[in-house]
Amino acid sequence: MSLFSGKKILLGISGGIAAYKTPMLVRAFIKQGAEVRVIMTPSSKDFVTPLTLATVSQNPVYSSFIAEDQDNPLWNNHVEMALWADYMLIAPATSNTISSMAQARCTNLLLAAYLSSQCEVFVAPAMDLDMYAHPANQKNEATLTEHGVVVLPTEEGFLASGLQGKGRMQEPEDIVSFMENHISKNLPLNGKKVVLTAGPTYEAIDPVRFIGNNSSGKMGFELAKRAAALGAEVILISGPSALDVDHANITVLRVNTADQMFEVSKLHYTDAAIFIASAAVADFKPDTNATQKIKKETGFSQINLIPTPDILAHLGAVKEKQFLVGFALETENELENAQGKLERKNLDAIVLNSLNDANAGFGGDQNKITYLQPNTKPIAFELKTKAAVAVDVFDQILLAYEKTS
């Protein structure tokens, strides 16, 4: 999964020859799972057609303040377009557009959207070499940088004027990777290792039977995806689960038993910044090592159970700088029990789910949690999708983690 997956990108195109490359740019973002909307300056239409861009972006393309071809003209809402975007990119950005952006001149829809934007804005300049090097242009670019806009470097090479030099817009795929690198470098968990346990564990009775539980692993997988979206290198230690995840920064390590989960957890705990134990680990395992299937005739009246290692309690006991988060699934005295676990297991936070909440918990797509930390009032959240719960959990973790690290 790419960093742009599910992201909304507003592409502003101004009138330079490099505009002919923008359909490829739109394609490159869409290939990464992004949604793209395009705003063009009127003069950019001399270099690339709105129809091409509407077709590749699968969205209407706007270039004027008023919706065209209408008996009852409508306002093309630049504010709505700007606020829709997770990222805005202006490519190619001509000297004229850069100068207008620097001076807050609102002479077309693209500039209006830029001036209304709240998201991170990238600019890919494209000019002839002398125009690019002109002190006035350099000053305008520096002003944009001061305003928080990310100005991409230009490439050196063959220019439309026939001259050779610096000023070429970067190739579409280079623009995408530049943005990707820039965004990931600034993500809050960039360079941090986040380790999670997820799913159930299966404790063997004999080679074909086991003691397990109904945990699907969904909450843990959603937390792993959120950690990766925040820039972390993620190790997801999963018990038997039908789920999988495809993300360059998530390594899934499959285990079956509590003992195996314990060993793998210890291995990855030392250099973890954050460890989240969301697995429904079996607390007991059969005290048998039957290597053959137990036959009906042999009789099977009793299973002796012995405790499994409490992974989270161990990690709490040996904790150094890790931010350690547990889960608690309770059916009565929920808050007191969760608070007790938080203290006993030396945790930095605990996520409480109650089996008493309808539609929440094991198996389903939704969860209703209360987030507890030492010496702080518990925070109760509404019933939400597990993906949305993962966002809430990491919002809370980051608030506390950023203070301690």
Active-site amino acid positions: 213
Residue nearer to ligand CTP on the CB measure, 23 or 326: 326
Residue nearer to ligand CTP on the CB measure, 29 or 269: 269
Residue nearer to ligand CTP on the CB measure, 12 or 220: 220
| CB proximity list for 14: less than 8 A, separation 6 or greater | 41, 43, 44, 90, 92, 93, 94, 96, 97, 110
CA distance 111 to 66: 15
CA distance 354 to 334: 7
Residue nearer to ligand CTP on the CB measure, 34 or 272: 272
Sign of CA dihedral 59, 65, 68, 71: positive
Residue nearer to ligand CTP on the CB measure, 189 or 196: 196
The CB-of-279 to ligand CTP minimum distance in angstroms stands at 5
The CB-of-309 to ligand CTP minimum distance in angstroms stands at 6
Tokens representing 276 are 């989240």
**Helix residue ranges, H only, 165-310:** 172-185, 218-229, 258-269
**Helix residue ranges, H only, 230-307:** 258-269
The CB-of-351 to ligand CTP minimum distance in angstroms stands at 8
The CB-of-277 to ligand CTP minimum distance in angstroms stands at 4
Neighbouring C-beta atoms of residue 323, cutoff 10 Å: 21
The CB-of-32 to ligand CTP minimum distance in angstroms stands at 34
Provide the pairing of β-strand 120-125 with 284-286. Answer: unpaired
Residue nearer to ligand CTP on the CB measure, 249 or 308: 308
The CB-of-280 to ligand CTP minimum distance in angstroms stands at 7
Residue nearer to ligand CTP on the CB measure, 17 or 224: 224
| CB proximity list for 187: less than 8 A, separation 6 or greater | 229, 230, 231
CA distance 57 to 68: 19
The CB-of-258 to ligand CTP minimum distance in angstroms stands at 5
DSSP per residue, 60-109: -EE-SSB-SS-SS--B--HHHHHHH-SEEEEEEE-HHHHHHHHTT---SH
DSSP per residue, 307-354: EPP-HHHHHHHT-SS-EEEEEEEESSSHHHHHHHHHHHTT-SEEEEEE
Contact residues for ligand CTP (CB under 6 A)?
A: 197, 258, 277, 279, 281, 283, 308, 310-312, 326-329, 341
CA distance 148 to 101: 12
| CB proximity list for 365: less than 8 A, separation 6 or greater | 218, 385, 386
Q: Is 152 exposed, middle or buried (0-12, 13-18, 19+ CB in 10 A)?
A: buried
